[in-house]
Amino acid sequence: MASKDYYSVLGVSRDADADTIKKAYRKLAMEYHPDKNPGDKAAEEKFKEIAEAYSILSDPQKRRQYDQFGSEGMRGGGAGGFDPRGFGDPFDIFREVFGGGFGDIFGMGGGGGRRAAAQRGSDLQVRLKLDLEEIGRGVSKKIKIKKQVRCEKCGGTGAKSGTSTTTCPQCQGRGEVAYRQGFFSISRTCGRCLGEGKVIEHPCSSCDGEGRVRGESTLDVEIPAGVAEGQYLTIRSAGNIGLRGGPSGDVLVIIEEKPHPHFQRHGNDILYDLNISFPQLILGDEVEVPTLGGKARITIAAGTQSGKILRMRGKGIPNLNGGGAGDQLIRITAYTPTKLGEAEKKMIRQLAEFESLYPEKADKGLFEKMREAIR
């Protein structure tokens, strides 16, 4: 399925600010609201699409992820992620943007009396530490989390065994209480049932009427190769369950990188400092270095200078979205011994007599050359 262009859906540019996005949504939502287009399925689908686009672009975090991965890039809980399919009830989004209480804004009555959706459970955050080897190859992890789960004693209803919920007498199950104000019919959430349309006369003793209790679960998480510090994966509907059978929230698995004993990460490249002796620098050598996947041998050319950086193509971190990998950089550093025996010192003193072992003398400065010229 092709990625949706939410900017085109709302008719705004990709650099549109929050106010522009909200104004575009308000205009289109008023135009395509089902109460204004009764029986028009195309208008209803357009209304949902507009709400979906707004729910993503109005949220800074979701918008950043959408700009990076597109609407299809993160379906199913991919890295960084959101799932546009879980954007919520388009009528709830409409009420939120228009300030709530517009049950009969079009004078047609079709939007009034919509009972509030079941309360969604809260999201959970889990921090997962990975080393560079795990990041380089991708890894499967099991994560144990504590969360709110369905109360088994009442089956999640919140009502005492043998009893059931009853229709709210104040709103007659509508979840809202409406009254007239001028030309508008204003709706407010029912204060008795808090928008659920039903009340519990005899709450469950195990969950105190919430329909949920404390518990735990184990998640199997697939970490793709190439993730980075601060990115996250979204595990849909794995968080706390909602009140009295409401939908569960999500679990956000936030990636942290462990310090590595050998490598420093720079984007998708990794840097390794290689200390070698003066004889190796002067004469050249073949040495073994660690890599994320094991070990490799590299050639040090004769006369290599300390500080030179060698590059091993494709030995770094894989690109998260595919298309190859970074490089492994090897920074050559001259090793200076601090403990020498008399025999080593004697040989070094002998080598010190050779002028070729010293840096070439710098050219005379301009001032010195002028002084010599006028002598």
Cα 212 to Cα 89: distance, rounded to the nearest angstrom: 23
Q: Span 259-286, mean pLDDT?
A: 95
Q: Looking at the predicted structure, is the pLDDT value of residue 240 above 70?
A: yes
Q: For the chain, which residues make up each domain, given as ranges?
A: 1-99, 115-258, 263-357
Please tell me what DSSP assigns to residue 243. Answer: G
| Second-level CATH architecture of 1-99 | Orthogonal Bundle (1.10)
Cα 280 to Cα 302: distance, rounded to the nearest angstrom: 8
pLDDT, one tens digit per residue, over 280-315 is: 999 999 999 999 999 999 999 999 999 999 999 999
Q: How confident is the model at residue 98 (pLDDT cuts 50, 70, 90)?
A: low
Q: Span 319-333, mean pLDDT?
A: 92
pLDDT, one tens digit per residue, over 150-162 is: 999 999 989 998 8
Q: How confident is the model at residue 108 (pLDDT cuts 50, 70, 90)?
A: very low
Cα 169 to Cα 96: distance, rounded to the nearest angstrom: 26
CATH fold of 115-258 reads Chaperone, DNAj Protein; Chain A (2.10.230)
Query: Nearest to residue 56, comparing CAs of 14, 114, 98?
Result: 14
| Second-level CATH architecture of 263-357 | Sandwich (2.60)
32 sits in which H/E element: helix 18-32
What are the helix (H) ranges across 125-246? 132-137
Cα 73 to Cα 321: distance, rounded to the nearest angstrom: 9
